[in-house]
């Protein structure tokens, strides 16, 4: 299992989401960290990955033991410019 770390900004963004979305994102992150399952793609042009959870996205970087979430929020035209 990989350790999930949220940046301060990502933690605030996650806390601001509706409860149902927060639980779905938490479950998706844990599933990816433990079993490597989820809708994950490598970002083009920048380092990192995205995890799609319905209409929400989690942008993150990972190595062998950690997942560092840097953005959590609703998919919009500016999501991938971060």
Output the domain CATH number for residue 21.
3.30.2310.20
Is residue 81 in a domain?
Answer: no
Is residue 39 in a domain?
Answer: yes
**Domain boundaries, position 39:** 3-76
pLDDT for residue 78 is more than 80 = no
Q: 7-60 pLDDT, tens per residue?
A: 999 999 999 999 999 999 999 999 999 999 999 999 998 899 999 999 999 999
Is residue 16 in a domain?
Answer: yes
Number of folded domains that form the chain: 1
Is residue 10 in a domain?
Answer: yes
| pTM, full prediction | 0.89
pLDDT for residue 76 is more than 80 = no
Is residue 13 in a domain?
Answer: yes
Give the pLDDT of residue 53. 95
Torsion of CA 77, 82, 3, 7, to 10 degrees: -120
């Amino acid at each position: 299992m990989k350790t999930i770390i949220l940046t301060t900004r990502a933690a605030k963004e996650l806390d601001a989401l509706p409860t149902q979305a927060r639980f779905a994102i938490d479950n998706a992150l844990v599933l990816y960290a433990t079993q490597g399952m989820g809708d994950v793609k490598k970002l083009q042009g920048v380092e990192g990955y995205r995890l799609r959870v319905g209409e929400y996205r989690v942008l993150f970087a990972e190595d062998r033991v950690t997942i560092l979430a840097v953005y959590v929020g609703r998919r919009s035209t500016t999501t991938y410019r971060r």
